Each structure stands twice: as C-alpha cells, then as structure tokens.
Amino acid sequence: MTARTDVEPRSKGLLTPGAPVRIARLFPGSPATPFVRHYWLPRWELPAGGSIRQDVLEYPTANLVVEPDGAALFRAHRGLSTRTLEGSGWAFGVLLHPGVARGWVGTSLRGQPSAIPLGRLGLGGEADMTTAVRAAMARGDEDAAVAAFESWLDTLPEPDEDARLVDRIVAEVERDRELLRVEELAERFGLGVRHLQRLVAGHIGFGPKWLIQRYRLQEAAAALRSDDPPQLAALAAELGYADQAHFSREFKAVVGATPGSYASEVRR
C-alpha cells in the first residue's frame, strides 16, 4: 500500500503559489523504491476561458508523466519548466531517482531532448501500463494507477551501480547545504573531478556545478515564499554566495526575476 498526502502545489520546486490545483503525493511501495522518489498526481478544473501558468524549478532528476493524450520521460530543465493549465484534467507524474533515467534511455542524458516519448525507450509493456494508468486516473482511483505502474516496474532491471552512486551524490548535495564546491563533492566520494562531471552529466543532463546551484536556488525560492522572508543579504550569505549581487544575478538568470521582485510578486 502506498503512503499518501494531499498537498497544495507549494513544494520547494514550485514557484507559482496559491494556484487552484490539487496535488496528491503518494510514496512508492518497497519494490518500487529503487526507481521512484514519489508520485505527484495533479488534478485541476478551471472555469471556461481560464488558465493558470505553472512555473517549476524542478528537482535535479527526470520525471515520467502519463497524461490522457501521451506519456513521456522528461529530463530536468536547465532553468524553469513552464506549463499552462486550461479546462479540466489530470496527470500521473513519477519523480524518478536521479540514477534511473540514463538506464532507460540507454545513453547519456546530456544533449537529449527535454521530452522523450515513452514508447521510444523500448522498455516493453509500456502500452499496457499507460492504458491501465489512464483508466484508473479517469475513474479517480489513484492507488490503482500507482499499482498498475509498479506492476510494470517489476518487469524492469533495477538501476546499476553507477546509478546508485549518482543517487548518493545527489542526496549528499541535498543534505549538506554547506557543500558548495565541485572539488569537495568529488573528494567526498573518492572520485576525480572529471569522473564526477561525466557521471552526473550522463545521468542528469547537467554537471555537478549545476546540481549544487539548483538546490541553493530551491532553498532561496522557498525562503522568499515564507511568511517572514529573510533579508536578501542574509539569505545570500546563508546559501554560500560571495555577496548579494552574485546571488541576485544567479537567481534572475534561472528564475527570470530578481529575488526582490520574486518576493514582492509572492506577497501580492
């Protein structure tokens, strides 16, 4: 049985607060844990002519998404991922562990398209799985959708040793926010810097410097959305930036707005 929480769409990665969309978050059963971090199952119903733009600063990993009209593997974006929701609908999203996608694609994710149709991966059985997931989601049975997906996972080989190493590397960056240098990360895992760069880029699509930056900016966005946002200079120092100007430039380059503008928009 999967554990379940129903949450508003305001996790660290989601940058559009207060949107009228419900997201059920479910956690995998034991056999699926080598593959899946969690499931995210949004449903929305908007008035005629209405739309909502969702801006997401994603976790540094791939998502498998099944929708009524398609199914694809989406690798991480360099900056924001943006989607506009209209009418009513649902999606069955699977946040994969960082080491999984390369094994499914069969080659390095660096340079791969942002979305790869699931049928092109040649994993086998995906057509039956997506049919079962769609039927379950259409009747509102999200647990059955997860069960159908996990039955399909049972047919796939578990991630290999390199994939498990990438999972540990990403988890270390997420855990230790004082880890700011690629050289230090390589040393912790007994790897050369070039080896670390190839390993991370191959499994995620971007290198370890991007990985470290991504978690810092997620922390920044979450802090700026809080009820009592910190002073920008203090936040920059806490996140390990040399100064506020450097932090502001990096935030704007990825998010598209300065930290101050973003915080003001959230308060509005």
Query: Which DSSP string do the residues of 192-229 spell out, in sequence order?
Result: -HHHHHHHHHHHHSS-HHHHHHHHHHHHHHHHHTSSSP
Q: Which of 190, 155, 164 is nearest to 98 (CA)?
A: 164
**What's the token pair of residue 48?**
């005629």
What percentage of the chain reaches a pLDDT higher than 90?
63
**Residue 238 banded pLDDT, cuts 50, 70, 90:** confident
Task: Share the mean pLDDT of the chain.
Answer: 89
Is the entire prediction scored with pTM above 0.85?
yes
Burial of 183 (0-12, 13-18, 19+ CB in 10 A): exposed
Range scoring the smallest mean pLDDT among 154-163, 192-201, 225-234: 225-234
Question: What does the pLDDT average to over 231-259?
Answer: 89
Q: What does the pLDDT read at residue 9?
A: 38
Q: Where does the pLDDT of residue 8 fall: very low under 50, low under 70, confident under 90, or very high at 90 and above?
A: very low
Amino acid at 18: G
Q: Computed from CA positions of residues 42, 46, 49, 51, in that sequence, does the dihedral angle turn out positive or negative?
A: negative
Distances (CA, A) of 10 to 44, 91, 173: 15, 17, 22
DSSP code of 14?
A: B
Predicted confidence (pLDDT) per residue in 76-93, tens digit? 988 878 888 888 999 999
Radius of gyration of the CA atoms of the chain, in A: 19
Looking at residue 11, what is its pLDDT? 43
pLDDT > 70: what percent of the chain? 93
Calculate the alpha carbon distances from 133 to 40, 101, 107, 243 in Å: 13, 20, 27, 48
Q: How high is the pLDDT of residue 79?
A: 81
> How many helices, marked H, and strands, marked E, lie in the chain?
10, 10
| 3-state SS, residue 22 | strand
Give 99-132 pLDDT, tens digit per residue: 999 999 999 999 899 999 999 999 999 999 999 9
| Average pLDDT value for residue range 212-236 | 89
pLDDT over 70 (residue 181): yes
Tokens representing 247 are: 């932090």
